[in-house]
Amino acid sequence: MKRFRKIIITFFSLFLCVTQARALNSIIVDNETGCVLEEHGLNSQASIASLTKLALAVVLLDWVNLCKKNLDQVAEVPSSALPKGPNNPLGLEPGDRLTLRDLLYLSLLISDDQAAQTIAYYVGSQLANTQELGPIDNFVSHMNALALELKMKRTLFLNPTGLDKAPSQSQPYSSVGDLARLVRYAYSKPGLSFYVAQKSRDITVNRTLNGASKSFSIRIHNTNLLLGEESIDGVKMGSSNLAGECLVLTSEHHPEVTKVGSTIYTAPRRIIVVLLNAPHCFQQGRACIEHGWALYDSWARAGRLTTGHEIL
Strand ranges for 65-180 from DSSP E: 74-76, 97-99
Q: Is 277 left (phi over 0), alpha (psi -120 to 50) or beta?
A: left
Distance separating the N- and C-terminal Cα atoms of the chain: 43
pTM of the predicted model as reported, rounded to 2 decimal places: 0.91
Domains, in order of start, for the chain: 2-301 (3.40.710.10)
**168-195 pLDDT, tens digit each:** 899 999 999 999 999 999 999 999 999 9
- Residue 55, pLDDT score: 98
Q: Give the count of beta carbons closer than 10 Å to the beta carbon of residue 79.
A: 10
Per-residue pLDDT of the chain (312 residues; tens, 9 = 90+): 444 444 444 444 445 554 444 437 999 999 999 999 999 999 999 999 999 999 999 999 999 999 999 999 999 999 887 655 557 788 899 999 999 999 999 999 999 999 999 999 999 999 999 999 999 999 999 999 999 999 999 999 999 999 999 888 999 999 999 999 999 999 999 999 999 999 999 999 999 988 889 999 999 999 999 999 999 999 999 999 999 999 999 999 999 888 888 899 888 999 999 999 999 999 999 999 999 999 999 999 999 999 989 999
Contact 51, 238 (CB under 8 A): yes
Q: In what helix (H) or strand (E) does residue 207 lie, and over which residues does it extend? A: strand 200-209
Q: How would you class 120 by CB atoms within 10 Å of its CB: exposed for 0-12, middle for 13-18, buried for 19 or more? A: buried
Q: How many CB atoms lie within 10 A of CB 132?
A: 7
Question: 94: how many CB neighbours lie within 10 A of its CB?
Answer: 13
Phi, psi (deg, nearest 5) at residue 248: -120, 130
